[in-house]
Chains A and B, each alone.
Chain A
Amino acid sequence: MKLKAKAKGDLVQVKAMLKHDMLTYDQAKKKGKEANFITHITGKANGKVVFDMSTSQFLSKNPLIKFKFKGAKKGDEFELSWVDLKGNTKSKKVKIK
């Protein structure tokens, strides 16, 4: 996962690239694999949830997401985590720049 968080005024801008195949049911059938995709992405700053996204198989492969949030400043910690259909999880912490 690539993750960047940058403070701009009172907002923090987050850019993230998640590594995942995001196999839809149709794609999986063709490839003879099981469908699997990220189902939930959560962003936390200072222990508070600031971003919460429930997702489907229709996000692109290696999905890229960008968003802004309030309530944190330069030097604070930001954590992004995801979980997929099979229950795999991954998270990453960065310092807000």
Chain B
Amino acid sequence: MERRKFLGFGLAAIAAMPAIVSAKDERKEKPDAWTAKTEKDAIEKLYGTITPVEKGVKVKAPKVASNGGQIPVTVKSDIEAKSVAVFQNVNPEKLVAVFDVPEGQPVDFSFKIKMKKSGTITAIVEGKDGKYYKGAQTLEVALGGCEG
């Protein structure tokens, strides 16, 4: 059994290699993560079972958002990252975006998202050290932005 696992891992590593050179489409690589209905499930589908440390990741969003269709979010971190995933816990699916951070690039992203109602935005940073870090921000949404 162990041997079989080892072989499988080797094959996966070879298959993953060409992806490093060019841009990576996480939607094709991990399609299940994008349709997961709970945050926990989405994280598991993306990174496996992890216990992120709650430090070093800053998620900035307004405490009260008047328009749920245009919520400005900033994710910042000084950690040398491999990837950053952003989740919220109120929309039908929970994964918002995944950034693949190219070698040595800083983590400083701002973007606008939609949220159905008040909830929490969570960002998980996959560090180059193989550890996971987490930051979150809870906010109130006055007018939901998903029904449009």
Contacts and interface: CB of A to CB of B under 8 A. Distances in A.
A and B are interacting partners: yes
Interface of A: 11, 22-27, 30-31, 39-40, 42, 48-61, 63-71
Query: In this complex, which of B25, B108, B111 has the most chain A Cβ atoms within 10 angstroms of its Cβ?
Result: B111
A56 B25 CA distance: 12
Contact of B97 (A27, A50, A53, A64): A53
Contacts of B105: 50-51, 69-71
Given A26-B147, A30-B147, A54-B25, 20 more contacts: A24-B114, A27-B147, A39-B25, A39-B27, A40-B25, A49-B102, A52-B23, A52-B100, A53-B97, A53-B98, A54-B27, A54-B98, A57-B93, A58-B93, A59-B97, A59-B112, A60-B70, A60-B114, A66-B110, A67-B109
A19 to B, nearest CB: 14
Given A50-B102, A50-B105, A68-B106, A56 B147 contact: no
A22 B23 CA distance: 22
A14 B23 CA distance: 18
B91 interface: yes
Size bracket of the B interface: 35 or more
B34 interface: yes
B148 A30 contact: yes
Contacts of B43: none
A90 to B, nearest CB: 15
A60 B113 contact: yes
Contact of A51 (B22, B72, B102, B104): B102
A60 B34 CA distance: 17
A55 B88 CA distance: 13
Contacts of B25: 39-40, 54
